[in-house]
Amino acid sequence: MKCERLSWDLLVKAGDKELSAGEAQFVTDHLAQCADCRRECQEIERFSGYVESAVNRAAVAEQPADREQLAARIGQQARVKAIRAPEKVLRRFGWGMALAATLALGLIVAPRQKAQLTDTTAGSKPAAAESSAIEVDGETFVALPYSNPDLPSLAPRIVQMQVPLSSLAAIGIALEPVASQVLNQDRSVLADVLLGADGQPLGVHVVSWE
Amino acid sequence: MDQGNLLTLPAVPWKAEPVGNGDHSRLLLDLYDREQAPLKRYLAMLGVDPETARDVVQDGFLKLHEHLLAGGEQGNLRAWLYRVVHNGARNTQTSFGARRTGSIDDLDPAASPAAKDLSAEDELLDKERERRVGHAIAQLSVTQRDCLVLRSQGLKYREIAEALQLSVSTVGDNIQRGLERLKELI
């Protein structure tokens, strides 16, 4: 390339229409008066054409049934997606629903366990005897039905949540009064929630009625 | 226990949002009609055999469908498709890089439309030139070759950049250097 005004890079990009409007105009103006650069552009086109012909010679396999097969598989995917959509909704809210269900369970089971604990001798470990309970730092959690018992629980990862009983009632979980307590829909229950290493709740411990 | 870490469930937390299920089949099949042959040619240039290329392309379109069903970005589906197919080809070949070298030499010169209606001498010259071009392309770096092949299929630099996960300036550099190298070799 004899002309030094335009680089090869600029000429390639000009041919590929990858320049800004200002740059493209500059190149066009220059090419109008520079035979060397026009020859370079032809060279670029020639070698680009070689690559294109080599690619177009590549053998491709296309069976008539390929398109129909793809259409059928796309339809199948769409149907599976439609079926799974409710599952996705359940997954989205599953955490909360599982928590609510466990709280309901805890309201019924925990006071009974507490009563049993008072009957056991001092120093014994009731958690070992109760397979659905998780013992962390002396606090007993009712295991969630889907929790993975193989995952380690992390003691610092305990959060306390306040759950309005009306929220539980709204999803159809009916709570029965325990002992002499009268259930009031406007009240809340305070609970410790044990989080597993995966961030999912492992178990729940009802702390108190408010 | 940190009493400040107190959470309250929303009053009505269980209202499910409707999940959209748009029909993308027409869009996908139109794209398939336009792009399946260029995609397969691209895969051939990567050294993928035609039958495997058929599977990789079909899988690429199914992944694109999943992407659309999940509400994924629809900005540049062609580049997205090339990227998925490129990665799919890599996954199907245990020695992806090694098998790519020399793939151009395997191309059949007789398949060229230009091979028809030529005199015997012209045909020989044409075949010889194609052999030299194939040999030269095989000597380019993998990135130079990928960029030039995708460019030959009409992809813009930004599409090539997205497909190969490079910057646009890197794509420009590789195209320029690839062409310069071809000029030296042919």
pLDDT (tens digit, 9 = 90+) per residue, B3-56?
A: 443 433 333 332 323 334 457 888 888 889 989 999 999 999 888 888 889 999
Q: How far is B157 from chain A (nearest CA, A)?
A: 7
B64 to chain A: closest CA residue: A74
CATH label of the domain that carries residue B81:
1.10.1740
Asked if A182 and A110 sit in the same domain, the reply is yes
Is-contact A175 A164, C-beta < 8 A?
Answer: no
Question: Which residue among B24, B65, B152 places its CB closest to the CB of A55?
Answer: B152
Is-contact B170 B161, C-beta < 8 A?
Answer: yes
Instruction: Supply the range of the domain harboring residue B35.
Output: 23-100
Q: Decide if pLDDT at B99 tops 50.
A: no
Q: If you compute the radius of gyration of chain A from its CA atoms, what whole number of angstroms results?
A: 35
Rounded Cα gap, residues A114 and A179, in angstroms: 13
* Cα angle value B170/B171/B175 (rounded, 5°): 115
pLDDT in tens, chain A (210 residues): 568 778 888 999 999 999 999 999 999 999 999 999 999 999 999 999 999 999 988 877 777 788 888 988 888 888 877 766 655 655 666 667 677 777 777 777 666 665 555 554 444 333 333 456 777 777 777 776 655 656 555 545 777 776 566 654 554 445 555 544 555 555 677 777 777 766 676 777 766 654
Instruction: Supply the range of the domain harboring residue A134.
Output: 94-209
Is residue B166 one of the residues assigned to a domain?
Answer: no
Rounded Cα gap, residues B54 and A69, in angstroms: 11
Is residue A135 one of the residues assigned to a domain?
Answer: yes
Please tell me the total count of domains within chain A.
2
Is residue B8 one of the residues assigned to a domain?
Answer: no
Is-contact A3 A39, C-beta < 8 A?
Answer: no
Complex-level ipTM: 0.73
Asked if A18 and A113 sit in the same domain, the reply is no
CB atoms within 10 A of CB A91: 10
Are the beta carbons of A167 and B40 separated by less than 8 Å?
no
Please tell me the total count of domains within chain B.
1
Is-contact B65 B26, C-beta < 8 A?
Answer: no
Is residue B75 one of the residues assigned to a domain?
Answer: yes
Is-contact B147 B171, C-beta < 8 A?
Answer: yes
Residues of A in contact with B58 (CB under 8 A): 66, 69-70, 73
Is-contact B164 B147, C-beta < 8 A?
Answer: yes
